[in-house]
C-alpha cells in the first residue's frame, strides 16, 4: 500500500490539472469530483485496515473537531481561518497520513454546517494534501521562516485547486483562459488565506508542540520527524 499511494497521488494530481484541458463536456464536473474521491478513499481504507491504536484515533478525532470548530467560529471572516494551519501541524507532528485524514475529514464534517456539494471532494483533497505535504517539510515545527513559506504556498495551492472547481462547475466546462481569470480575480482572497495560514501557524505551533510532547511522555505517542519518527 505504501508504494501504491504515492503513485496514486501523483497520477490523480496530474489528472486533476490535465484532464480539463482535453475534456470540456459538462460531465467533466462529475468526473473530477469522483477523481478527488478516489484519491481520498485509499487513506481511509489504509487507516481502517491498519488497526490504528485507539488513542491515536481519539487524537485524530479531537484534532479534526478542533479544526472543524475553528472553521465554524471564523465563519464571519471569509478566507481567514485556522484550518490549514491545524491540518498542517497535525501532519507535521503526527505524520502525513494523520494530516491527510484530518484535512479531508475537516472539509467533509464542517460542510454539514457550510453546505455539502460537488465542491466538498475538492476541499477534502486540497486540505488533505496540505496535511500530507506538511509531514515532509523539514523545519516546519520549529522555523518561523519555513512556516511562513509553507503558509503562503498552501494558501496558493488551495486556491488553485478550488478555482478548477469554480471554472468547471460555474461555467459547465473547463477553459484555461477562464481558469487564469479566476486565479487573477481571486488574488485578494488568496492573499488573505495565505496570511491567515502564516499567522495561525506562528500562533498555534508552540501550543501544539507542548501538547505533542506531553502526549509523547505520558502515552508514548510517536512524534513525526522528517524521514524518520522518534518517540519522545
Domain ranges of the chain: 4-231
Res 190 pLDDT > 90: yes
Report the distance separating Cα 130 and Cα 13, nearest Å.
Answer: 13
What mean pLDDT comes out for the span 48-61? 70
Does the pTM surpass 0.85? The reply is no
Residue-wise pLDDT for 65-114, tens only, equals 999 999 999 988 888 999 999 999 999 998 888 898 899 889 888 888 88
Q: What is the pLDDT at residue 62?
A: 87
Residue-wise pLDDT for 108-126, tens only, equals 888 888 887 778 888 888 9
Report the distance separating Cα 100 and Cα 90, nearest Å.
Answer: 9
For domain 4-231, the CATH class is: mainly alpha
For the record, the C-alpha cell of 153 comes out as 504556498
Higher pLDDT, 56 or 210: 210
Amino acid at each position: 500500500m505504501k508504494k501504491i499511494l504515492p503513485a496514486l497521488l501523483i497520477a490523480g494530481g496530474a489528472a486533476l490539472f490535465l484532464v480539463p484541458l482535453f475534456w470540456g463536456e459538462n460531465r467533466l464536473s462529475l468526473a473530477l469530483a469522483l477523481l478527488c474521491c478516489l484519491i481520498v478513499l485509499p487513506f481511509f481504507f489504509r487507516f481502517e485496515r491498519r488497526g490504528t491504536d485507539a488513542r491515536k484515533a481519539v487524537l485524530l478525532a479531537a484534532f479534526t473537531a478542533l479544526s472543524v470548530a475553528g472553521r465554524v467560529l471564523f465563519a464571519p471572516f471569509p478566507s481567514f481561518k485556522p484550518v490549514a494551519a491545524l491540518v498542517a501541524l497535525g501532519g507535521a507532528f503526527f505524520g502525513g497520513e494523520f494530516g491527510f485524514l484530518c484535512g479531508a475529514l475537516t472539509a467533509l464534517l464542517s460542510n454539514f454546517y457550510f453546505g455539502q456539494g460537488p465542491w466538498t471532494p475538492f476541499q477534502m483533497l486540497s486540505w488533505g494534501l496540505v496535511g500530507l505535504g506538511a509531514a515532509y517539510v523539514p523545519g516546519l515545527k520549529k522555523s518561523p521562516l519555513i512556516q511562513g513559506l509553507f503558509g503562503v504556498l498552501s494558501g496558493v495551492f488551495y486556491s488553485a485547486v478550488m478555482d478548477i472547481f469554480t471554472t468547471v462547475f460555474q461555467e459547465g466546462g473547463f477553459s484555461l483562459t477562464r481558469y487564469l481569470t479566476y486565479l487573477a480575480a481571486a488574488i485578494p482572497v488568496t492573499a488573505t488565506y495565505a496570511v491567515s495560514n502564516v499567522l495561525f501557524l506562528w500562533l498555534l505551533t508552540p501550543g501544539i508542540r507542548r501538547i505533542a510532547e506531553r502526549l509523547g511522555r505520558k502515552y508514548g505517542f510517536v512524534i513525526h520527524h522528517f524521514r524518520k519518527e522518534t518517540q519522545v
